[in-house]
Amino acid sequence: NSDDEDVFFDPEADLMQNKITHRHSKELNKRIQEHLSLIDRSGNEDSGWDIIAEDGEMKLYRKELVINGLICDPLKAVHSVGSVTAKEMCHYFWVPEVRKDWEKTEVFQVLENLDEFTTINYQTHKQVWPAAQRDCLYLSSMVKVDSPPCAGDKTPHDTWIVCNFSVDHPEVNSVPGCVRALIEVALICQTFITPPKDGGPITRDCLQCDIVYVANVNPGGWAPASVLRSIYKREYPKFLNFYTNYVQEKRKDLEILF
């Protein structure tokens, strides 16, 4: 439809460095704006988010939400890790080539490249007994944010986001028996730099990357509530710890990527 094909030209709202010019541009831009409002970490505890897991700097929050009998609890995690930049953190989350290094999906396919930093992906997740196996079909885009909303008293050096959300695609070859889960996920990262006191060069020791990760997943069909809630409470912290360690390891001897 012609609405989808509009090029996004609103200078007021144009926070993005990359020009957005594909059929899902408007929707992508809208979702990015919504996710960015979450950068402000204040009030996590008193705005309806319950903390359900904590491990060092990592905190996982949820809101309980049931839609048509399905558990759709929104999840939000905050984390902060040293030695890497926001761009590095988002890069490995977005690039298809390294997906198997950090995510245990069984099938992973890129169905379309909408632009240099936007793909449409299809993937299947491991089956969890006694529920049916799940797959998801989603757009994934990595964007630099030029004017992020202010969060606290620190000023970030830069802000990047990866935004994933379910879309349709005519060429999807779905794995038989899978139930389609609907996802809306964002990884928002900000680099903070503490320059050396002696005026020396910026090294990895000067870098801190603050992370906000949000996941709204609708399991798409029956799944036992208690199993689902105990699985996500275990799996999201595991993912955040594994993934952030992975990026730190990957970059430690490489040049800093801003």
Residues that bind ligand 16C (CB under 6 A): 71-73, 103, 123, 125, 128, 131, 134, 136, 164, 181, 183, 185, 217, 219, 223-224, 227-228, 231-232, 235-236, 239
Nearer Cβ to ligand 16C (38/231) = 231
Residue nearest to ligand 16C (CB): 185
**Residues 6+ positions from 59 with CB-CB distance below 8 Å:** 44, 51, 53, 77, 78, 79
What the block records as the tokens of 217 is 């997943």
- Record the tokens describing residue 46, joined without a space: 């008193």
* Least gap, CB of 15 to ligand 16C (angstroms): 21
Q: Which is nearer to ligand 16C, 15 or 136 (CB)?
A: 136
Q: What is the DSSP string of 135-184?
A: EEEEEEEEEEESSPPP-TT---SEEEEEEEEE---TT--PPTT-EE-EEE
Cα(183)–Cα(215) distance, rounded to whole angstroms? 7
Closest CB to ligand 16C among residues 23, 125 = 125
Beta carbon of residue 31, minimum distance to ligand 16C (angstroms, whole number):
13
CB of 212 to ligand 16C, least distance (A): 13
Smaller CB separation from ligand 16C, 38 or 72 = 72
**Is 14 or 103 the residue whose CB approaches ligand 16C more closely?**
103
Shortest Cβ distance from residue 3 to ligand 16C (Å)?
26
| Cβ-based nearer residue to ligand 16C, 82 or 224 | 224
Strands (E), the chain: 50-55, 58-62, 66-67, 70-71, 75-82, 108-115, 118-124, 134-145, 158-166, 179-180, 182-193, 207-218
Give the burial class of 76: count Cβ atoms within 10 A of its Cβ; 0-12 exposed, 13-18 middle, 19 or more buried.
buried
Q: How far is the CB of 111 from ligand 16C (least distance, A)?
A: 14
CB of residue 134 to ligand 16C, shortest distance in Å = 4
Count, in order, helices (H) and strands (E) of the chain.
5, 12
